[in-house]
Amino acid sequence: MFIIWIAIIGLIVWAVTAGVKSSQNAGHTSGPSAQDIARSRYARGELNKEQYEQLRRDLA
């Protein structure tokens, strides 16, 4: 009976630490930066020069 309780507590500790680690990594993306996206949108013609320059100032 004692071993079962140790196993249950161990699983709970493992689940909590795994959840904390995954939530800490949730904010880290490996995608393009906001400046890269703005540059791409300007290159595709979705933004005019004034809009692009304003975005660059805002993001700097």
Residue 54, Cβ neighbours under 10 Å: how many? 13
Is 18 inside any structural domain? no
For residue 52, give its domain range: 32-60
Is 43 inside any structural domain? yes
Give the C-alpha separation, 42 to 44, whole Å. Answer: 5
Q: Which two tokens stand for residue 31?
A: 């995608």
Statement: residue 20 has pLDDT above 80: no
Q: Residue 22 has what pLDDT?
A: 66
Q: Give residue 1's pLDDT band: very low, low, confident or very high (50, 70, 90).
A: confident
Q: Residue 19 has what pLDDT?
A: 76
Is 16 inside any structural domain? no
Report H helices in the chain: 2-25, 34-43, 49-59
For 40, residues 6+ apart whose C-beta sits below 8 A from its C-beta are 32
Counted domains in the chain = 1
Could you read off the pLDDT of 24-53 as tens digits, one per residue? Answer: 665 666 788 899 999 999 999 999 999 999
Is 40 inside any structural domain? yes
Residues 14 and 31 sit within 8 Å (Cβ to Cβ): no
Q: Residue 31 has what pLDDT?
A: 84
